Amino acid sequence: MRTRLLALAFSGLALFAAAPSEAQVVARIDRTTQTMRVWVDGSYAYEWPVSTGARGHATPTGSYRAQRLEKRYFSRKYDNAPMHNAVFFHRGYAIHGTSYVSTLGQPASHGCVRLHPSNAAEFFELVRSRGMGRTRISIVR
């Protein structure tokens, strides 16, 4: 357990070294482990299971800023699928709540990052309260 915490601390330090100093919310999504780790004001705060893109629907890697917030959103592209508490970060991709909680922890989406609805609400509120410009979203393989 202690080794894991140290590893998390060092990975967080490396992430912050690459992130602008003004970022107050840093989300790191790991497509390999299907997890999202969140730092708030420089302190490690959350680790949540996610579902990123299934085969043929890769979630883009890279570093992004939050671009748009939608409390209640329905996908026009995917049969009005609910994407509540959506934090859009790149070309229509978002971190959002899902009703498919049984698939969390494995790739299952069309490219978005799916979260448990309560975790999506928590993340949405963090971004809303701290500001989109002060949020960094990093997605790694």
What is the domain count for the chain? Answer: 1
Contact at 8 Å (CB) between 89 and 138?
A: no
Which position has the higher pLDDT, 44 or 20? 44
Using the predicted structure, report yes or no on whether residue 112 has a pLDDT greater than 80. Answer: yes
Q: The CATH number of the domain where 6 resides is what? A: 2.40.440.10
Chain length of the chain: 141
CA–CA distance from 110 to each of 47, 81, 86, 131 (Å)? 22, 11, 15, 27
Look up the domain containing 61 and give its range: 2-140
Mean pLDDT calculated for residue range 91-109: 96
Of the candidate ranges 22-26, 41-45, 101-105, the one whose mean pLDDT is the lowest:
22-26
